[in-house]
């Protein structure tokens, strides 16, 4: 290596093919040029790559926002679903409780291992029993409902002026109001009574029930021993016996025990479960079994 000028160097390479001379300034220029080109190419590539990455980041960010939005929507939908499930569970529990109560009142065994539908099917079978109950025991008003003038229970007698147990209920009615049988039965008594009841009728119904009608107008519509059906005319209201005015004294008895007539007056299929709870002096479970046995024997 030898120095040509103060600011330049020459590099000589000799081989079998001869010698070649390289000036250092040219190499530096080429290196600088290639370096600049590389840097420019790198910067251009980097710019495109950064722009590509920015696009990807934006795309991912948009997808992230969409996912967050969908997640919020799913959370709201889940909350609504949970509320709906909780509400349905509560309704289901109430239905189960009502079914259990009704099963208890009707004397049915509560079988919790059965599905709700199966238990409802069992209750559907009792619809016939309910109809049987309404045909066999007194229910509904025997006259047009114009109100009540005297309740069942202890009271001050309006005529005798003493504390006395009122064994029936007094129904407001003008003289001559038709009276209808509240259930199938047979006429046990139809005549004048000297104990203050005036002209009265006693109907004997199935399973130990009786109904009494007092202070009637004396008209022999039915006779003792005559069978009557629910809704049949049996007589007319009046003002006979110890009475302060026209009305119908109505009693419901079970094995000669007087019962609250108001329960029987308001008895329907819709409130039968409530009725069984109100009047507990009657063994309803055995009564329903008897009605069921009677119905099954008829079918056979």
Indicate if 158 and 22 belong to the same structural domain: no
Indicate if 26 and 161 belong to the same structural domain: no
The answer as to whether 170 is a domain residue is: yes
User: What tokens were used for 94?
Assistant: 């109430």
Enumerate the β-bridge partners of residue 259.
252
Indicate if 55 and 171 belong to the same structural domain: no
Give mean pLDDT, residues 111-140: 69
pTM of whole model > 0.85?
no
Full residue range of the structural domain in which residue 284 is found: 148-299
CA nearest to 291, candidates 206, 223, 215, 165: 206
What CA–CA distance (Å, rounded) separates 95 from 99? 6
The answer as to whether 198 is a domain residue is: yes
Indicate if 153 and 293 belong to the same structural domain: yes
Q: What is the mean pLDDT of the chain?
A: 83
Q: What is the pLDDT of residue 290?
A: 79
Q: Nearest 5°: phi and psi at 178?
A: -65, 140
Indicate if 159 and 286 belong to the same structural domain: yes
Residue range 48-78, pLDDT digits in tens: 888 888 888 888 888 888 888 888 888 888 8
Indicate if 179 and 293 belong to the same structural domain: yes
> Would you tell me how many other CB atoms lie within 10 Å of the CB of residue 267?
22
How many distinct structural domains can be found in the chain?
2
The answer as to whether 278 is a domain residue is: yes
DSSP-assigned letters across all residues of 102-169: HHHHTT----TTS-HHHHHHHHHHHHHHHHHHHHHS--S-SS----EEE-SEEEE-TTT-SEEEE-SE
Q: Where does a domain end: 49, 65, 81?
A: 65
Indicate if 160 and 292 belong to the same structural domain: yes
Indicate if 176 and 284 belong to the same structural domain: yes
Q: Label residue 118 by pLDDT band (50, 70, 90).
A: low
The answer as to whether 30 is a domain residue is: yes
Degrees to nearest 5, angle at CA 202 with 200 and 205:
160
Indicate if 294 and 179 belong to the same structural domain: yes
The answer as to whether 120 is a domain residue is: no
The answer as to whether 117 is a domain residue is: no
Q: Label residue 189 by pLDDT band (50, 70, 90).
A: very high
The residues near 240 (Cβ < 8 Å, ≥ 6 apart) are 192, 198, 199, 215, 216, 217, 218
Residue range 236-286, pLDDT digits in tens: 999 999 998 999 999 999 998 999 999 999 998 888 878 887 888 888 878
Indicate if 169 and 283 belong to the same structural domain: yes
Give mean pLDDT, residues 116-141: 71
What CA–CA distance (Å, rounded) separates 165 from 188? 24
Which CATH number goes with the domain that contains 294? 2.70.70.10
Indicate if 182 and 290 belong to the same structural domain: yes
Indicate if 46 and 176 belong to the same structural domain: no
What CA–CA distance (Å, rounded) separates 216 from 223? 14
Q: Nearest 5°: phi and psi at 19?
A: -115, 145
What CA–CA distance (Å, rounded) separates 140 from 267? 6
pLDDT over 60 at 235, yes or no: yes
The answer as to whether 46 is a domain residue is: yes
pLDDT over 60 at 3, yes or no: no
In 3-state terms the chain splits into helix, strand, coil percentages (rounded to 5) of 45, 25, 30
The answer as to whether 83 is a domain residue is: no
């Amino acid at each position: 290596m030898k120095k040509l000028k103060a600011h330049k160097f020459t590099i000589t390479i000799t081989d079998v093919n001869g010698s070649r001379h390289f000036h250092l300034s040219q190499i530096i220029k080429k290196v600088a040029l290639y370096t600049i080109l590389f840097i420019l190419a790198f910067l251009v590539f980097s710019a495109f790559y950064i722009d590509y990455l920015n696009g990807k980041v934006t795309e991912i960010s948009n997808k992230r926002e969409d996912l967050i939005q969908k997640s919020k929507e799913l959370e709201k939908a889940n909350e609504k679903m949970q509320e709906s499930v909780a509400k349905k569970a509560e309704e289901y529990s109430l239905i189960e409780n009502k079914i259990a109560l009704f099963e208890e009142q009707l004397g049915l065994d509560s079988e919790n291992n059965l599905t709700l539908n199966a238990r409802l099917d069992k209750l559907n079978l009792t619809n016939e029993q309910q109809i049987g109950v309404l045909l066999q025991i007194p229910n509904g008003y025997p006259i047009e409902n114009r109100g009540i003038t005297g309740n069942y229970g202890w009271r001050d007698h309006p005529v005798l002026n003493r504390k006395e147990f009122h064994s029936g209920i007094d129904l407001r009615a003008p003289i001559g109001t038709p009276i209808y049988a509240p259930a199938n039965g047979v006429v046990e008594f139809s005549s004048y009574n000297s104990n203050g009841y005036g002209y009265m009728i006693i109907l004997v119904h199935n399973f130990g029930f009786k109904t009494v009608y007092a202070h009637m107008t004396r008209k022999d519509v039915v006779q003792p021993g005559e069978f009557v059906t629910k809704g049949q005319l049996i007589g007319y209201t009046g003002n006979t016996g110890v009475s302060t005015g026209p009305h119908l004294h109505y009693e419901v008895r079970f094995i000669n025990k007087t019962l609250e007539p108001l329960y029987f007056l308001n008895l329907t299929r819709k409130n039968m479960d409530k009725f069984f709870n109100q009047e507990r002096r009657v063994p309803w479970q055995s009564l329903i079994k008897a009605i069921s046995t009677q119905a099954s024997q008829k079918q056979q």
